[in-house]
Amino acid sequence: MNTDVAIVGAGPAGIFTALEMLRRGSRKKIVIIEKGKAIENRHCPKQKTKVCMNCKPNCHITTGFSGAGAFSDGKLSLSYEVGGDFPSLIGEMNAQELIDYTDGIYLEFGADTHVEGINADEEVKAIRKRAISAGLKLVDCPIRHLGTEKAQELYYAIEQHLLKNGVEILFDCECTGLLLDNDQGRCLGLVATDRSGDFEIRAKHTIIATGRRGADWLEKICAQYHVAHQPGTVDIGVRVEVRNEVMETVNKALYESKLIGYPRPFKNKVRTFCQNPGGFVSQENYDNDLAVVNGHSYKELKSDNTNLAILVSHNFSTPFNQPIEYAQKVGELTNMLANGHILVQRFGDILDGKRTWPKELMQSNLRPTLPDAVAGDITAAMPYRAMINIINFIQAVDCVVPGFAAYETLLYSPELKFYSNRIKMDDKLETNVKGLHCLGDSSGWTRGLMMASVMGVHMGRIIADEETKS
């Protein structure tokens, strides 16, 4: 098969590359391969069974058209200060302009016009004052909340738009390698496999946009084909769940309180991430049956609780430089203790040095929204450094949000973010291998829906402009 542009992964970065090329009037042939299914065929059976079924060959929550975005809380961060380091590559003002432009595309496809986290200046000032007193930084970022169920509708509309305009999307199709001209140091396309067997896709531009789900795979690709990269950051942490009443002030003023701290004694960066007012804690499955925790927030379906992630950033360079493998081992150990499920423990039990028992979860004001989470002891698996950082950070947040560090506060583990292996690229998003580009969360440059989408828009413009100049 021959094409102009071959894209590996139908997540936000990949689909917005194709979308922007179409918007720019490009006539280049675009082929997207995706190991998962079309969005209309992605269904998590847990909604009916209430228990994770460990779907094979891929988890429907993390894999398929729009990637993890389809089943996420669906929040678009509208500030360049949130979403990774891509602004440092193209410039902050350029990044903000692209965010505003990309936000407009989301609106065209049905995103809610309401923006959270604005018009509450006095409340935000009060929250920031408490954060400063606690040694924390507050990043107040406007949020456009799609909602988990509405996000699926929106991405379905994008999927159909791409198909109707000639973009070929090969589902249940996996990239197994690259085609290289070693003499010229150029990528000539890729090798793929589906139910029919292996085949080649030759392309002028080959784009890898496999998301967090594909971070481990991309690491192997970089090693095999000598794609220049450096070890990036990996985040290890927990998902915290409290009653809505505890978070009421922050939820109303900001919707998502992005707090950053460097707690003693280790002073690692610790931050909150992916806050879901009235949301639900969820489970995602990665390769090798690795179960990790996440959070969903629907537009209409609401719980009595708010959940958010607390993540500790880890960087490794020498002598060990495999951050993804490190995080995976932490996750595997936690899964072992929970017999393949997610562990949950009360914060007070952690401070008391005891495990949490199932009956104790039913004695509190707070009831877990992940029904098959296993009560136990997350400290038996979490590294000491990360655990101390998390404990001290939670106690600092309690100064900002009174009641956050209550005895009954629930901690779910493991929460892992594989943003590793920062691919070395120029502002044209080209690697040291000509014709090969890496986008989105798997590239190490973005974190989250909006910035991954923005990176795709930037890529789409670069390719479309080539056509105009020629």
Percentage of the chain modeled with pLDDT above 70: 98
In 302-428, alpha helices (H): 323-337, 347-352, 358-361, 384-400
Q: Write down the H helix ranges in 139-204.
A: 148-164
120 falls in which pLDDT band (50, 70, 90)? Answer: confident
3-class state of residue 62 by DSSP: coil
Q: Is the pLDDT of residue 97 over 80?
A: yes
pLDDT of 383 strictly over 80: yes
Cis check for the bond before 319: say yes or no (omega within 30 of 0). yes
pLDDT above 90 (res 149): no
The answer to whether 52 and 77 have CB atoms below 8 angstroms apart is no
Of 73-82, 170-179, 252-261, 283-292, which one has max mean pLDDT? Answer: 170-179
Q: Which domains does the chain have, with CATH numbers?
A: 5-111+147-229+423-469 (3.50.50.60), 121-142+233-417 (no CATH)
Of 220, 195, 196, 194, nearest in space to 208 by CA = 220
Question: Coil, strand or helix: which one is 403?
Answer: coil
Of 290, 376, 374, 387, nearest to 332 (Cα)? 290
Query: What is the three-class DSSP state of 186?
Result: strand
Residue in 466, 467, 439 with CA at minimum distance from that of residue 32: 439
The mean per-residue pLDDT over the stretch 418-435 comes to 87
Strand order, beta sheet including 258-261? 137-139, 258-261, 270-277, 305-315, 233-243, 410-417, 343-346, 374-375
Q: Can you give the pLDDT at residue 202?
A: 98
Average confidence (pLDDT) over 195-222: 92
Q: Report the distance separating Cα 28 and Cα 203, nearest Å.
A: 11
Q: Taking each helix axis as running N to C, give the angle between helix 449-469 and helix 12-23, from 0 to 180 degrees, rounded to the nearest 10.
A: 40
Confidence of residue 226 (pLDDT cuts 50, 70, 90): very high
pLDDT surpassing 80 at residue 70? no
In the block, residue with structure tokens 């249940």: 172
Judged against a pLDDT cut of 80, whether residue 356 lies above it is answered with yes
pLDDT of residue 470: 63
Residue 233: its pLDDT value, please? 80
The whole-angstrom separation of Cα 467 and Cα 325 is 41
Say how far apart CA 190 and CA 352 lie, in whole Å.
54
Each residue's pLDDT tens digit, 448-462:
899 999 999 999 999
- Report d(CA 171, CA 6) in Å as an integer: 14
- Contact at 8 Å (CB) between 248 and 401? no
Mean pLDDT of 149-155: 88
Contacts by residues 152-157 (CB-CB < 8 Å, ≥ 24 positions apart): 152/39, 152/42, 152/66, 152/70, 152/71, 153/110, 154/106, 154/109, 154/110, 154/111, 155/15, 155/39, 155/65, 155/66, 155/69, 155/70, 156/39, 156/40, 157/109, 157/110
CA–CA separation, 247 and 253 (whole Å): 10
pLDDT confidence tier of residue 313, bands split at 50, 70 and 90 = very high
Name the pLDDT band for 137 (thresholds 50, 70, 90). Answer: very high
Mean pLDDT of 122-141: 95
Mean pLDDT value across the chain: 92
Q: Over the stretch 260-291, which tens digit does the pLDDT of each residue have?
A: 999 999 999 999 999 999 999 999 888 778 99
pTM, whole model, 2 decimals?
0.85
Cβ neighbors of 8 (< 8 A, separation 6 or more) are 14, 33, 175, 190, 206, 207, 208, 209, 210, 214
Residue 360 structure tokens: 């104790």
- pLDDT, average across residues 155-176: 97
Residue 72's pLDDT band, with cuts at 50, 70 and 90, is low
pLDDT in tens, 5-57: 999 999 999 999 999 999 999 999 999 999 999 999 888 777 677 677 777 77
Give the pLDDT of residue 8.
97
